[in-house]
Structure 1
Amino acid sequence: MLSNNSLQRLTITRRMQGGFDGLDYQEISFQTPSLRYLDYTNFVPDAYPVVNLESLEEAKLYLQVVEDREWFGELLEDPDRLSSNPTNLIEGIKNVKSLTLSSSSTFQTLYFFRESIPLFENLHHLTMRHSDMRVCWRFLPFLLSKTPNLKTLHIEGGLHYAQKSESLDYVCECVSEYSCLSSCAVEFMDINMWDDGAEGEMEQIKHFLGKLAHLELLKVHSLGGISDEDKLRITNHLLMLPRASPKCKVEISFR
């Protein structure tokens, strides 16, 4: 158990890339009522019996669930086989104002335990950071439906659109489930494009622009080295996309 009534900042980092050599603990508890900042990277144990994070304002999570206390470096697909249970941890961060989800495995974890996602009444800033654009964002509708006061959404690492496909024009079915965007309060959005304005990327941006009724500014960063012709094509395409918010401005930058 981590127990400290006055601790305000805490960073826990377990190396993920070096392979899995077993759980450090089968259970982890946080009895830290004054904690304001948590940066937590770890394999998810069997349980978090006690989670007291009532003062938490900022959380950065990199979570990896395991099966039968084993992990072989892959994203897991079957929640029924998991030995990990982050339920109390997910519920325990409900007071945060800023939340960073730092990996595709964290996205998967939130989807597997989506029934545990609490109402994030204080959450104003959400950052999604990942390295695999093919991993489905099935968790996102469930999370956004619980963030009534979210104002800023940052997507680092590219847009998701090509699940189980190498085709850059393949659009994942999860996009059609973004109906929650229509009631989302997001005013500022910042996203990266990795594939030079591929059809799948544009389709994702179209959904965000066409459904975020309160959006005031969308910043799009193209991270690939592209020709002036492609820059013009991308710019024209983005500026022509319909917008749910009449106040929305679109800013585009190229590396």
Structure 2
Amino acid sequence: MERGLLELHLHAVSFLFIERELFTSKTLVKLTLSTGYDFEAERVFLPALKSLYLLIDSGIDYDNHCRLLDGCPALEELFIRDADHDCPPCCGSVVKSASIKRLVVLVNLPNKRDSHDYAYFEAPSLVYLDYSSYVYETYQIVGLDSLVEARLSLKIWDYYDYNYDYEYDDESGDYYFSSSDDEGRSYCYSYVDDERKEPIFGDVTNLVAGITNITTLHLAPDSLEAFYFCCESMPVFNKLLNLFIESNKDKGWQGMPLLLKSCPILHTLVFKGLVHRVTNKCGDACACIPKKEKRENEKKNRKIVEKQLSCLWTCQVKVLEISKYDGSFQELKQMGHLLGKLGCLESVKVGVHADNNTEFLQANLLALPRLSSKCNNIQFS
């Protein structure tokens, strides 16, 4: 340290007390702490540190975590991995820094639901956020007004024995409906046994409301479900220009209609795959809405009535990009749905897998009718 060390990567497999000189370096610019257990630091002052990587396999306690961040006044980049251990989340639950501009947080503790009660983020200089975690019970977001780009992977807890309101979808013969109690908590009921289910844990309302100044948003497949089930109200993204959606055949698009309605100046819409879990909550965003059915349950004398939501007719998207396109019937139907309802489209780009019959796929897509008169061509790659 006396020679002016600029970069240090430290890994420990057991309890470690770090010498004070390490955390009072005037020259250190990049520091990685990768631990299999706890570590302590009596005093921290790293005035030159720009990048900090916390790869925690066991857990750094709250006091040491706060002491570490407070002692880095010039920190610009913070990467936190709080995963694969048996301790409650710590580093990924609280981030407070006046200087950081880029923040990457990964919290993966699927067996610690009860410890995900509160998350706090305060970073007035932050311009980029990459956040992946199971949803917390509540979030407090302070001063993210400078944020420009966000990547969210918000996972719903899998403690439940039902399929999260996948009512009336194509993979289940059972039917469900939702209700609320006097405190506003949502429940799902099954037509099979009418048993009240456990409320879905977590609320991302404050998290979503805290990032409304962004111009670019990337959503992992789980996030649309979290928006639908764990967000009490969708804020308006008045500055959002670019929206990237990653799809997965096991995850639904329930949050898509309300999200698109909340992006009044959206310019570019990008899908990484179009195949997703079909539910009756995708609304007008999806061409795969299950056919209207009305079935009376003789015992309960109830009917299922499908309510369609419209979100594409008023969407201002001018650029539509699709990657991982295989040309399946569901994908072609979805493309026809998008082209036939997005009235402001000017450019369409489709990425086709090289091992597919490219000419056949292109011919099918080019034959689809388009609502927008300005959409004269489809580019393939």
**Which of the five TM-score ranges fits, normalised by the shorter chain?**
0.7 to 0.9
User: What is the CA-CA distance between 1:178 and the residue it aligns to?
Assistant: 6.6
Matching of residues 142-221 of structure 1 within 5 Å: 142-156=258-272, 158-160=273-275, 163=278, 172-173=288-289, 177=308, 179-194=310-325, 196-221=326-351
Letter in 1 for 2:320: M
User: What TM-score do you get using the length of structure 2 for normalisation?
Assistant: 0.56
Distance 1:153 1:75, change over 3 A: farther
SS at match of 2:337: helix
Contiguous gaps of at least 5 residues in structure 1: 165-170
2:89 aligns with: none
Q: Distance in 2 between matches of 1:185 and 1:149?
A: 6
Cα displacement string for residues 87-144 of structure 1 (whole angstroms, at most 9, x for unaligned residues)? 1001111111000002x221100111454211000000110123x2243212111000
Q: Distance in 2 between matches of 1:226 and 1:56?
A: 40
2:119 aligns with: 28
Structure with greater proportional helix content: 1
Does structure 1 residue 236 correspond to structure 2 residue 363?
yes
Superposition CA RMSD, Å? 2.6
- The answer as to whether partners of 1:48 and 1:89 remain within 8 angstroms in 2 is yes
2:380 aligns with: 252
SS at match of 2:140: coil
2:71 aligns with: none
Cα displacement string for residues 53-78 of structure 1 (whole angstroms, at most 9, x for unaligned residues)? 11111100011122xxxx45999505
SS at match of 1:108: helix
SS at match of 2:312: helix
Aligned residues: 233
SS at match of 2:366: helix
Q: Distance in 2 between matches of 1:182 and 1:22?
A: 42
Does structure 1 residue 77 correspond to structure 2 residue 164?
yes
SS at match of 2:152: strand
Q: Distance in 1 between matches of 2:129 and 2:373?
A: 37
Q: Distance in 2 between matches of 1:174 and 1:188?
A: 28
Distance 1:108 1:237, change over 3 A: same
Question: Larger RCO: Structure 1 or Structure 2 (Cα < 8 Å, ≥ 6 residues apart)?
Answer: 1
Q: Distance in 2 between matches of 1:172 and 1:75?
A: 22
User: What is the CA-CA distance between 1:50 and the residue it aligns to?
Assistant: 4.0
1:168 aligns with: none
- The answer as to whether partners of 1:75 and 1:105 remain within 8 angstroms in 2 is no
User: What is the CA-CA distance between 1:7 and the residue it aligns to?
Assistant: 2.0
2:353 aligns with: 223
User: What TM-score do you get using the length of structure 1 for normalisation?
Assistant: 0.81
Max Rg structure? 2
